[in-house]
Amino acid sequence: MDNQRFKNELRSSQDDPDFDLDSYIDERSSASNSEINEQEYAEPASSTKRNLLAIFFFVVIPALFFLYTFGPPIFRSDNGTGNTTFTQGQNIAQAPLPPAAPLPTRVSNSDGVTSVYLDYLQAANEAGYTTQINPTGIRALYDSGVPLSYLEDMNQAGFLDDFNYSAIIGLYSSGVPMEYLTLMNEAGYLDNFSYSALIGLYSAGVPTSYLDQMNAANFLNDFSYSAIIGLYNGGVSMEYLTLMSESGYLDNFSYSALIGLYNSGVSIEFLDRLNAAELINDFSYSAIIGMYNSGVTTEYLLQLKEAGFIDTFSYSGIIGLYSSGVPVSFLKELDNRSLLADMSYTDVIRTYADGN
């Protein structure tokens, strides 16, 4: 195509009288070299191999990365309806989680056992207390707040073998001092009383001197510690207890009865009269106190019993009948007329007063 153009240009140039053929040839040579250089530096066309590499790097690798990162296909058809939805297990980009809170400081070494208890246990072990108190007891002492110094005091006083850990807890919690235990031990009473008794006696303020009096009168084994506390606080003298014992009435009355009889001033002679009339077991100690203080004679009581009326009235009724002067003969008349069964003792008193 260039040759044809050259021929045309040459033909038209020959018609020009001023045409210089040599100059024209030089000009065309320079133009041809320029065109050749332009063709040499032109960008070559992309080859098939280069295109395949580009596809591999820019299409295949991103696709594999996407599938590997997001798992199975993230879209599915919803039961053939044509509506595209997210699959249940898809991974959707989420906001980053907040940093985890720091773990709380441990307050124990293992299994909830505090290091303070381990120190307590170690000190008890080093002091030799674990040979006398088992681990359960040591733990109970610790939980109850019994200091090791209290155990040391008991050990120094020689009491650690005399009490189990429950007793030690009770004695410490009740504030029983070593001095009281020492006094009880020196008097020989530790073997007579349980730790509960020791706590009760100490809390009630019973001195060892009172226990000495009871022991000298041979009453220490006749009463429980509760009875001893009651008798001491009730002010019952050893003389009264001795008289009651010599008359054989200690087995008839509880310690509460003894306290009541003593404080009500019931004499041994009145009890002897009741006992002689075989009436002492027919009344409670409250009844005896009431009748004694109301002046009811054993003769009146004996008449009631012989007439069969001793169980007809309460002791309050008997006191009322006696105080109102109602004789036992009037009660017999009412009973003979079949009237007594329907009358209270106040009705009897009123009826007797109306006829007199």
Per-residue pLDDT at 115: 79
**What residues form DSSP beta bridges with 114?**
108
Q: Greater confidence, 167 or 33?
A: 167
Please state, in angstroms and rounded to a whole number, the distance separating the CA atoms of residues 247 and 244.
5
Please state, in angstroms and rounded to a whole number, the distance separating the CA atoms of residues 122 and 144.
17
206-261 residue pLDDT tens: 999 999 999 999 999 999 999 999 999 999 999 999 999 999 999 899 999 999 99
Judged on CB neighbours under 10 Å (0-12, 13-18, 19+), 344 is: exposed
Q: Is the pLDDT of residue 327 over 80?
A: yes
Mean pLDDT rounded to a whole number for the chain = 80
Output the six-digit token pair for 292. Answer: 């004694």
Per-residue pLDDT at 183: 95
Residue 63 confidence class, pLDDT cut points 50, 70, 90:
low
Q: Is the pLDDT of residue 41 over 90?
A: no
Domain boundaries, the chain: 113-173, 175-263, 265-356
Per-residue pLDDT at 356: 72
Would you state the torsion angle of the CA atoms of residues 291, 295, 300, 301, taken in this order, to the nearest 10 degrees?
20
The amino acid present at 190, given as its one-letter code, is L
The amino acid present at 160, given as its one-letter code, is L
The residue-averaged pLDDT of 52-67 equals 56
Residue 166 confidence class, pLDDT cut points 50, 70, 90:
very high
Whether the CA torsion 50, 52, 54, 57 is positive or negative: it is negative
- Could you tell me where the DSSP H helices lie in 41-114? 48-55, 61-70
Residue with tokens 């019994």: 146
**Secondary-structure breakdown of the chain: helix, strand, coil percentages, each rounded to the nearest 5:** 60, 5, 35
Helix (H, G, I), strand (E, B) or coil at 108: strand
Please state, in angstroms and rounded to a whole number, the distance separating the CA atoms of residues 229 and 202.
10
At residue 53's C-alpha, the angle toward residues 48 and 55, to 5°, is: 95
The residue-averaged pLDDT of 191-216 equals 96
End-to-end CA distance of the chain: 177
Per-residue pLDDT at 38: 46
Q: Which helix (H) or strand (E) element contains residue 113?
A: strand 113-114
Do 340 and 331 contact (CB within 8 A), yes or no? yes
Residue 51 confidence class, pLDDT cut points 50, 70, 90:
low
**What residues form DSSP beta bridges with 77?**
84
Exposure pattern of 25-37 as b/e (b: 16+ CB <10 Å)?
eeeeeeeeeeeee
Contacts of 340 (CB under 8 A, 6+ apart): 312, 331, 334, 348
Please state, in angstroms and rounded to a whole number, the distance separating the CA atoms of residues 130 and 155.
12
Q: Is the pLDDT of residue 20 over 90?
A: no
268-292 residue pLDDT tens: 999 999 999 999 999 999 999 999 9
Output the six-digit token pair for 314. Answer: 């309460």
Please state, in angstroms and rounded to a whole number, the distance separating the CA atoms of residues 4 and 199.
140
Residue with tokens 């110094």: 149
Contacts of 132 (CB under 8 A, 6+ apart): 160, 161
Residue 86 confidence class, pLDDT cut points 50, 70, 90:
very low
